[in-house]
Amino acid sequence: MADKLGIIAGGGDLPAALARFCLESERPYFIVAFEGQTDPDLVADKPHGWFRLGAAGEAIDRLKKEGVAEVVMAGPMKRPSLAELKPDLWTLKTLSKIGFSSLGDDGLLGGIVRILEEQGFRIIGADDLLRQLLAPEGCYGQHRPDPQGEADIQRGIAVARALGAVDVGQSVVVQQGLVLGVEAVEGTDALLERCAGLRRDGPGGVLVKLKKPNQERRVDLPTIGKRTLDQAKKAGLAGIAVEAGGALVLDRDGLTARADAEGLFLIGISAPS
């Protein structure tokens, strides 16, 4: 039998997909749920424990008591300030060690991975378990970007690479060559909500989502799902482009059918660093 898996659950649908994988493969697992971050419906009927984000030491102790050997980090988390976090002594020492206030998300997550490894856990990526979720290259449905969409994708790649190089964000929205918005601490959903009020007349824009050049790929790979598509539609976009082999697409068949019905394109793109 496979080692027991610890799922550190943020938001979005990826934690649920991992829990389904464990159930279907009969792999023992335990979910670490964080107040204000994890969807309560995800853990309602599953083995789990609730923790404050500022009480990470308690979560580590519980994972050890549960006999967890491997850990996967899944789903975005809202990054609080230290004042909002109210860290316990263990968490405060750990955050001070990795430089909570001075690091971007990628640097912070890389530091958390190192701390977990020091505690004896093996860290694996969601794509190690769910290889079928990795974005393939090419268009997924019946709709394809037109020449303006292709140009917007290339512009988005250049901007997203620049953002990622300084550890800011993974996503950018471009319409007719204009950058309508870039992702920072707010996350992709809020970026799309903001861009809905900034769209121009004419052909809709494109959401481009790439992993960062120096990203620890075991955590926080770019991910799109039903909510991403719904928000893109509300924002008046023409489609979504994600990095082939560097992003996760949840329920690709269902998402493709939904995109076809909504008139949006979904495409996996090659985006060399």
Q: Is 43 a residue whose pLDDT tops 90? A: no
- Here the CATH number for the domain that contains residue 54 is 3.40.50.20
pLDDT at position 10: 87
Strand order in the sheet with 5-9: 48-51, 29-34, 5-9, 70-74, 122-124
My answer on whether 56 and 148 are in the same domain is: no
* Residue range of the domain that includes 107: 5-129
Domain count for the chain, please give it. Answer: 2
Helix (H) or strand (E) holding 104: none
Q: What is the per-residue pLDDT across 90-107, written as a single tens digit (0 to 9) for each?
A: 777 776 766 555 445 555
pTM, to two decimals: 0.86
My answer on whether 142 and 113 are in the same domain is: no
pLDDT band at 108 (very low <50, low <70, confident <90, very high): low
